[in-house]
Amino acid sequence: MKDVIEGRVWCVGDELDTDQLIAGKYLTIIDPKELRKHVLENVDPSFSQQAKEGDILIAGENMGCGSSREHAPAALKAIPLGAVVANSFARIFFRNSINLGMPAIEAPGVRAIFQPGDTCRIFLREGRVVNVTRGKEVSFPPLPSHLMDLLEQGGLVEKVRQELKRSGAKP
Amino acid sequence: MSAPHAAQGTAARGGATLSQKILSRASGLEHVVPGQIVDGRVDLAMCHEQGAQAVLPFHQMEAKKVWDVDRVVVAIDHWVPASTEGAAQLHQILRHFAQEQGLKHFYDVGNHGICHQILAEHGWVVPGDLAVGTDSHTNMLGAMGAFAVGIGPTEYAAVLALGKIWLKVPSSIKVEVKGKLAKGVYAKDLVLRTIGEVRCDGARYKAIEYAGPTISSLSMSERFTLCNMTTEMGAKAGMVPPDSKTFEFLEKIAKHEMHPLYPDADATYERTVHLDVDGLEPQVACPYSPDNVRPISALVKEHVKVGQVFLGSCTNARMDDLREAARIFKGEKVAPHVRFIVSPASTSIYRQCLKEGLIELFTDGGAVFTNSSCSACFGGNMGILAPDEACASSSNRNFPGRMGAKEAKIYLMSPAAVALTAIRGEISDPREVL
């Protein structure tokens, strides 16, 4: 994982819940590539067609509130987005994102300094989100070390695999 | 009851909340503090259809065996019986995995129910437990005096492999309730009122701990309703300390040993919300958010018409809910141009309704009484709404698109209010007929 993430910005508002990210009718889909076709379709139908690798989604308060469905971050990761940055996150969405290896950055005040199409640069370890287009920035408390480790390993699957390997290797 | 696993010596450090107590027991640490990250030993792991998404990561982790097959419950509920090919595949993946791993506690079609209700009525979660489930309303089991938390499927795969989960110890909001609920006013109205106060994000990363004389007076079913909708405040967990009602409820059904824990009298809460339910009127969460809560009298004045009425979901489809709705609906008919869907929370509740004549009572009046499932609640199976429709519902969420079209309007209320609304075709106050 890179320490600096840069990408083109998409914006969504406050309280973007998981029903809006991926509607209930798509919950029987497992393949993330299929899911990405429907992500945010009730909010911004152009998103699933036009979002491209490395783009960054900037959200307001309580991003991803609602259900535990991993379909929501899985669909965003399938684009694959570079990161999701929000004023604040709902906890299961936040956890699911990190578990899938997609950086989720909580940076209070970040939504206000971005417009769609701006360029965003995130300094993960320094804890800064910069709007390169407009010359503005906000800071955030960097992720705790165990979450940084999780991201560096590419997510929870790899972390657990390593852990099981280590414990299995013991006599 | 004693509290054998309570953290020792907490007095010197200041008291501990129930969340701290349970997470210190789960992590084997003497004392834990909010913000601390701990590895908790899991007492019970539950999945519904979303568990199918855990199978691939479980194998990618190169995990061989589930850590403890007697701590794992599979309870399919969203599409039962399978209504689409996709759902059938999810069920099949789960059945194969259960077979491969020897998972015996699989509540399959015919023995099914909403996952949280299955955990509750079979005693799978007991006081002091750390429970996880692949559904956000896993919070409901906090009514057992447990720390019950919703997780995603990749995380669930990790729990199956390791039997543990990392958790940040949350700070707690104490919701202290006094007063007596009036006739026609229910636990649902209390929790809606609480959500209106705390808001949808007011308890993010935090636990809600209920306390006070009103809470003690509530039945287990009512406590399930209260804890269920702590999710709608963003809470990581919601709980009621165990008491004689909890122990009585679990006496014959508890699946493993109880470790009752209680908050210390001098526990530190982030804040305390004081509510007095004396004089509380029925509440309604209006579109498009569970925290857009208004007193029902305001809606009655506006003559809010509905096309569909739903009595179901993990929040409010237990026997007491269905009996109370039946009390109002008995001998009545569904209003013209209204569809009334009744879906019990489990198959055993379905059977009990059959015994008590409730299925006849509802269907005689023109309702459709379905088998147990999440039903219309989540907009993916049945009871889907068209764009210009409104629905009165005893469920827990009313976000845009929750039950179908993004424009459709969902009003959340108690089962009694739902029943009267079905009869009149517009949002109605159950106190008028009780």
Give the domain-ending residue among B241, B275, B309: B275
Question: Least CA distance to B402: which residue of chain A?
Answer: A19
Q: Tokens representing B151?
A: 């997780």
- The phi-psi region of residue B60 (left if phi > 0; otherwise alpha if psi is between -120 and 50; otherwise beta) is alpha
Contact indicator for B351, B151 with CB cutoff of 8 Å: no
Helix B220-228 and helix B187-198, axial crossing angle in degrees, nearest 10: 30
Same domain, B26 and B95: yes
Same domain, B225 and B370: no
Same domain, B307 and B241: no
Report the alpha-carbon distance of residue A23 to residue B30 in Å, rounded: 43
Report the alpha-carbon distance of residue A119 to residue A138 in Å, rounded: 14
Q: Tokens representing A101?
A: 């290896």
Q: Is the pLDDT of residue A128 over 50?
A: yes
Residue B12 domain-assigned? no
Report the alpha-carbon distance of residue B17 to residue B7 in Å, rounded: 11
Task: For residue A35, name the pLDDT band (cuts at 50, 70, 90).
Answer: very high
Nearest alpha carbon to residue B290 among B238, B230, B239: B230
Q: Cα-flanking dihedrals φ and ψ of residue B220, to 5°?
A: -60, -40
Give the domain-ending residue among B214, B247, B275: B275
Sign of CA dihedral B127, B130, B132, B135: positive
Report the alpha-carbon distance of residue A13 to residue B132 in Å, rounded: 30
- The phi-psi region of residue A36 (left if phi > 0; otherwise alpha if psi is between -120 and 50; otherwise beta) is alpha
CA neighbours closer than 13 Å in the CB half-sphere of residue B117 = 28
Residue B375 domain-assigned? yes
**CB-based contact (8 Å) between A6 and chain B?**
no
**What pTM did the predictor assign?**
0.94
Q: CB neighbours of B382 closer than 8 A, spacing ≥ 6?
A: B83, B341, B370, B375, B376
Residue B319 domain-assigned? yes
> Which B residues, 238 through 267, put their C-beta within 8 Å of a C-beta on chain A?
none
Same domain, B249 and B287: no
Contact indicator for A132, A56 with CB cutoff of 8 Å: no
Contact indicator for A29, B86 with CB cutoff of 8 Å: yes
Task: For residue A1, name the pLDDT band (cuts at 50, 70, 90).
Answer: confident
Chain-chain contact of B380 with A27 (C-beta, under 8 angstroms): yes
Residue B5 domain-assigned? no
Chain-chain contact of B399 with A69 (C-beta, under 8 angstroms): no
Per-residue pLDDT of chain B (434 residues; tens, 9 = 90+): 344 443 444 445 689 999 999 999 999 999 999 999 999 999 999 999 999 999 999 999 999 999 999 999 999 999 999 999 999 999 999 999 999 999 999 999 999 999 999 999 999 999 999 999 999 999 999 999 999 999 999 999 999 999 999 999 999 999 999 999 999 999 999 999 999 999 999 999 999 999 999 999 999 999 999 999 999 999 999 999 999 999 999 999 999 999 999 999 999 999 999 999 999 999 999 999 999 999 999 999 999 999 999 999 999 999 999 999 999 999 999 999 999 999 999 999 999 999 999 999 999 999 999 999 999 999 999 999 999 999 999 999 999 999 999 999 999 999 999 999 999 999 999 999 99
> Can you tell me the mean pLDDT for A55-59?
98
Report the alpha-carbon distance of residue B225 to residue B220 in Å, rounded: 9
Q: Is the pLDDT of residue A138 over 70?
A: yes
Report the alpha-carbon distance of residue B51 to residue B49 in Å, rounded: 5
Which residue range(s) make up the domain with B169?
18-256+270-275
Q: CB neighbours of B318 closer than 8 A, spacing ≥ 6?
A: B117, B221, B224, B345, B349
Same domain, B234 and B323: no
Residue B164: which CATH number? 3.30.499.10
**CB-based contact (8 Å) between A28 and chain B?**
yes
- To which CATH superfamily is domain A4-169 assigned? Aconitase, domain 4 (3.20.19.10)
**CB-based contact (8 Å) between A95 and chain B?**
yes
CA A109 to centroid of chain Cα atoms: 17
Give the domain-ending residue among B211, B242, B275: B275
Same domain, B407 and B295: yes
Across B155-282, where does the E strand assignment appear? 164-168, 172-178, 207-211, 237-239, 271-276
Same domain, B188 and B84: yes
Same domain, B292 and B386: yes
**Residues in chain A closer than 8 A to B52 (CB atoms):** 30
**Residues in chain A closer than 8 A to B157 (CB atoms):** 156-157, 160
Instruction: Give the pLDDT score at B142.
Output: 98
Peptide bond into A80 cis (omega under 30): yes
Residue B184 domain-assigned? yes
**CB-based contact (8 Å) between A160 and chain B?**
yes
Same domain, B305 and B242: no
Same domain, B117 and B223: yes
Chain-chain contact of A92 with B52 (C-beta, under 8 angstroms): no
Buried b (16+ CB within 10 A) or exposed e, B351-360: ebbeeeebbe
Running DSSP on this structure, what letter comes out for residue B67?
Answer: S
Number of domains chain B is built from: 2
Could you report how far apart the first and last alpha carbons of chain B are, in Å? Answer: 39
Instruction: Give the pLDDT score at A169.
Output: 65
Report the alpha-carbon distance of residue B12 to residue B103 in Å, rounded: 44
Chain-chain contact of A17 with B57 (C-beta, under 8 angstroms): no
Same domain, B300 and B251: no
Nearest alpha carbon to residue B162 among B35, B239, B54: B54
Q: Is the pLDDT of residue A111 over 50?
A: yes
**CB-based contact (8 Å) between B52 and chain A?**
yes
Same domain, B312 and B361: yes
> Can you tell me the mean pLDDT for A103-122?
98
Buried b (16+ CB within 10 A) or exposed e, A9-39: bbbbebbbbbbbbbbbbbbbbbebeebbebb
